[in-house]
Amino acid sequence: MTVSREFLAGLPKAELHVHHVGSATPRIVAELAARHPNSPVPADPVALAEYFTFTDFAKFIEVYLTVVDLVSTPDDVRLLTYEVAREMAAQNIRYSELTVTPYTSAQRGIAPEAFCEAIEDARTAAEKELGVTLRWIFDIPGESGIPAAVETARIATEIRPDGLVGFGLGGPEIGVPRPQFAPYFDAARAVGLHSVPHAGETTGPATIWDSLRDLKAERIGHGTSATQDPALVDYLGEHRIPLEVSPTSNLATQAVRSYDEHPIRAMVDAGLVVTINSDDPPMFGTTLVNEYAVVADLLGLDAQGIAEYARTAVRVSFADDSTKTTLLTEIDDYVTNNA
């Protein structure tokens, strides 16, 4: 069974695991690099493709942080955010929960209030002008430790921009135990934010257990190693905790060795809730449309089958009921007319 790229491109989609800076396409990065000519990041899109070549997760983080350095003013933040929404609109991504790391911008001299104002300005413009609804998940960069957790929780609970719906934890997993962040997730949940940490991508099932028990995770970012533990699979299935799966990202960071070895088939066969995501798409040479194509191929799905993954992403999102109803109707209408 095959699904055409044309169908996948037009399918209304929601994306739940995609990073703010990591969504900067070569076009956007080149524009930012031209603003900051002293950066090591090349402004030439061809050179950028080579620059975005990773040998492992540590190399990815190194490159990622050099791109973060390009976003050094509120105007840069606004430009990045709006242009990411423009790229989403081109794929008919109608709703996205964008993982944003305000701490790294604060470390580079952008006041958190100005940062939040910039993303909010871009969010409202994107919804009005591009038809893309953005929401925020503020994440702790794990490599920066407790100071980052303190400040991220403060920004999330005290400034709390209107589009903020979740609280997360990203960055390296190795050497960054999850339980230490429990008080900051507790504070975020106390003001109504959802818990959505990364876990089990470059570490084993224990990191996922820690995220569930200590951080009260409602979704798991990646969860690639979940199927290694039958008890964990049972727990995730019983509690219907979604996994945010990004196949090409997992290959790029060497979390898995090939598409054929990706555990998504085992996840689905076990009855787990799976969503399809692109993570840091330009850096990994992918798009959400491409990830849908990859999953359709890996699971042998037809148009009706892959459309159900689009519906799942909407259902397990943190969108309000009205937005969910609208998007689900759009998906149903699209499939009726195009499948």
**Are 278 and 246 a contacting pair, CB within 8 Å?**
yes
Strands 133-141 and 164-170 turn out to be parallel
Token pair recorded at residue 339 = 């499948």
Token pair recorded at residue 135 = 């929401």
Token pair recorded at residue 165 = 């719906």
Token pair recorded at residue 198 = 């990364």
Q: Which of helix, strand or coil describes residue 276? A: strand
User: Known catalytic residues?
Assistant: 201
DSSP-assigned letters across all residues of 204-267: -HHHHHHHHHTS--SSEEE-TTGGG-HHHHHHHHHHT--EEE-HHHHHHTTSSS-GGG-THHHH
Q: Which of helix, strand or coil describes residue 97? A: strand
